[in-house]
Structure 1
Amino acid sequence: MDMNLLAQELEEVSVEYAGKNGIERDSNWFTLKLHEELGELTQAYLMKTGQARRKGLTDAQIEMTFEAEIADVFAHVLLLAKYHDVDVIEAVEDKWLRWHPSRQP
């Protein structure tokens, strides 16, 4: 899927979610929501690695939760970037891919 199309679809879901829940999506919300989701990913990781209570979940449920939290973090990174007009692909190319061995002199 195209990254810009994905970001637009996530934006539409986020707008609807915020509207239904009376949430103001401002700069603080985008950053704090990402932080919240990262905390949930951390909790899922700790359960997955046996460093936190399992809360009665099976291995399969823990794995599904871990994957879902990765999706939430990824989605909120894209939403934060979209809110601030950051081209994620360009930013990754500038920050990371310039170091790829194929791009080195």
Structure 2
Amino acid sequence: MTIKDLQDAVLRISDIYAREHNIDRDRDWALLKLQEELGELTAEHLRLSSRARGEGNPQAQADEAADVLGMLLIYCDHAGIDIEAAMQRKWLSWLNPQT
């Protein structure tokens, strides 16, 4: 599965979720949700590293990481960002440096 395939699937699921829960996904919704999910991942990380109350849960940490990635893909779509092209330009170009 490519990043684009994953993004398309996530966007379909987001549409279903928004329709079922009557969520208005306005201009900044995706960025705000991305921040919310990052906060939840951070909280689980802190619990797992014994720097917050409660016991951490590795499955919850993985689920929160999935939420962050999902919301990032949604944000990129809303912002008109081709994340595959951006990753190629910003990160993957290091694997094939120009001489």
TM-score (norm 1): 0.86
| 1:80 paired residue number | 75
**Distance in structure 2 (CA, Å) of the matches to 1:27 and 1:91:** 22
Shift of 1:98: 2.4
Determine helix, strand or coil for the equivalent of 1:35.
helix
Distance 1:31 1:85 in 2: 13
Tell me which amino acid in the other structure corresponds to 1:103.
P
Q: Where in structure 2 are the equivalents of 1:1-105 lying within 5 Å?
A: 1-54=1-54, 57=55, 62-100=57-95, 102-105=96-99
Alignment length (residue pairs):
99
In structure 2, C-alpha distance between the alignment counterparts of 1:74 and 1:104, rounded to whole Å: 30
Query: If the length of structure 2 is used for normalisation, what is the TM-score?
Result: 0.91
Shift of 1:4: 1.3
Misfit runs of 4+, over 6 Å = none
Q: Aligned equivalents of 1:6 and 1:27: distance in 2?
A: 22
Contact 2:4 2:84 (8 Å CA) reproduced = no
Superposed displacement of residue 85, structure 1: 2.1
- Which whole-Å deviations, capped at 9, do the CAs of 1:50-98 have from their partners, x for residues lacking one? 11111xx4x6xx1000000000000110111111221111101111222
Letter in 1 for 2:48: K
Higher deviation after alignment, 67-76 or 15-24? 15-24
Q: Which one-letter code corresponds to 1:33 in the other structure?
A: K
> For 1:81, what is the secondary structure of its paired residue?
helix
Name the aligned partner's letter for residue 19 of structure 2.
G
Name stretches of at least 5 consecutive residues in structure 1 with no aligned partner. none
